[in-house]
Amino acid sequence: MVNLGVIFPPDLAPEQLRPVALAAEQSGLAELWLWEDCFAESGIATAAAVLAWTERLRVGIGLLPVPLRNVALTAMELATLARLFPDRLVPGVGHGVLDWMDQVGARVPSPMTLLTEYATALRKLLHGQTVSTSGRYVTLDAVGLAWPPQAVPPVLVGAIGPRTLTLAGAVGDGVILTGETTAEQLPEAVGQVRAGRSAAGRDGSPEVIVFVPVTDRPAARDLAGQVSRFVEAGATTVALHSVGENAPPLVEFARFAGHEVQPLLT
C-alpha cells in the first residue's frame, strides 16, 4: 500500500502547523511533509515540533537546501531527531532555489558537485562513520557523530532533471519529485534513479516520493484514482499539496485525505 501524506507549505504561518499535524495523525495518514523555504520556516524546527506532537506520523522534510547548511550541523540535527523519534523522520536534501542562495551569499558555481559531496558525507555521518574528506565544497577532518542514530533515516535527494535523478540514485536513498512530474513522466524518472543506483553498485529499491498538487475540492474517488496512477508508475509515497482559490483549509483537507481518500487506496 502506498504511503499517503499531505504537505504543509511554508506560506502558512508556523502557528497553523499543530492542528494540521494532529488532523493528519488522527485521520490515519501515513506522512506529513514540510518544506524549508528561505526566509519562511525551518525544516528542522518544524519537523521537531510535529514529531513531538504526534505518536506515529512519519515526517518528511522536502527539502533542506545544502548550500545553506554545513553538513556536520545537518547530520547532528537529523541524528538527534532520529534518536528521539526512531523510524519517523524522512529528510531530503537538494540544491535549493538558486536565486535565494544568491541572496544569502551561498550560491556555488557547481551545485551538482556540492550535492554529490554533501549527500555522500551526510549518509556516512548518519551511519556512524568518522569522515575525512577534502572536496571542492565539503571539507571534514575526522568528523564523527557522538550520537549517531540507531535507526538511520533515509537521505532523499530532490531532483527534476536527468543528471540530478541519476545522482539521487547514486548517492541517496531515494528521490523527491516535484508537482511538475506527471504520472506519465514518472516511470522514466524512476528508471533514471534506478540506473544511477545500479551504476554505483548499490542494492535495494529507492524510495520515490512524489508531490502532487490538488486543485480546489476534488471528489474522493477522483483523487484516489490520481494517486493510484502515481503508485502504478512507481511512487512509494504520494504527498498531496492542496492549492487553488477554492481549496479547503488544510486541517479539513488532511481529514478528507485520511478519512475519504485513503480507504479507497487499500
Q: How confident is the model over 213-228, as pLDDT tens digits?
A: 999 999 999 999 999 9
Q: What's residue 231's pLDDT?
A: 96
| Lowest mean per-residue pLDDT among 32-36, 81-85, 202-206 | 202-206
Radius of gyration for the chain, computed over Cα atoms and rounded to the nearest angstrom: 18
The pLDDT of 4-31, averaged and rounded, is 97
Tens digit of each residue's pLDDT (9 = 90 or more) over 124-173: 999 999 999 999 999 999 999 999 999 999 999 999 899 999 999 999 99
Peptide bond into 63 cis (omega under 30): yes
pLDDT of residue 201: 93
pLDDT of residue 135: 97
Q: What is the pTM of this model?
A: 0.95
Q: Is the predicted pLDDT of residue 1 greater than 80, yes or no? A: no
DSSP 8-state assignment for residue 257 = I
**CA distance readout (Å), 246 to 199, 214, 239, 258, 261:** 46, 11, 19, 20, 19
In the structure, what pLDDT confidence band is assigned to residue 70 with cuts at 50, 70 and 90? very high
List, in order, residues 6 or more apart from 208 with CB less than 8 Å away: 174, 175, 177, 186, 190, 193, 234, 235, 236, 237
Q: What is the mean pLDDT of residues 27-35?
A: 97
Average pLDDT over residues 31-58: 96
pLDDT at 157: 97
Whether 111 shows a pLDDT value over 70: the answer reads yes
Q: What is the pLDDT of residue 106?
A: 92
> According to the model, what pLDDT value does residue 180 have?
86
pLDDT > 90? residue 178? no
Q: Can you tell me the distance from the alpha carbon of 121 to that of 143, in angstroms, rounded to the nearest whole number?
A: 10
54's CB contacts (< 8 A; 6+ apart) are: 21, 22, 24, 25, 32
Answer whether CATH 3.20.20.30 is correct for domain 3-265: yes
**Nearest by Cα to 71 from 114, 42, 104, 34:** 114
DSSP lists the bridge partners of residue 208 as 175
> pLDDT-based confidence at 37, cuts 50/70/90?
confident
What is residue 179's predicted lDDT score, i.e. its pLDDT?
Answer: 78
Mean pLDDT over all residues of the chain?
96
Please state the domain extents for the chain: 3-265
Alpha carbons 36 and 41: distance in angstroms, whole number? 6
What pLDDT score was predicted for residue 2?
83
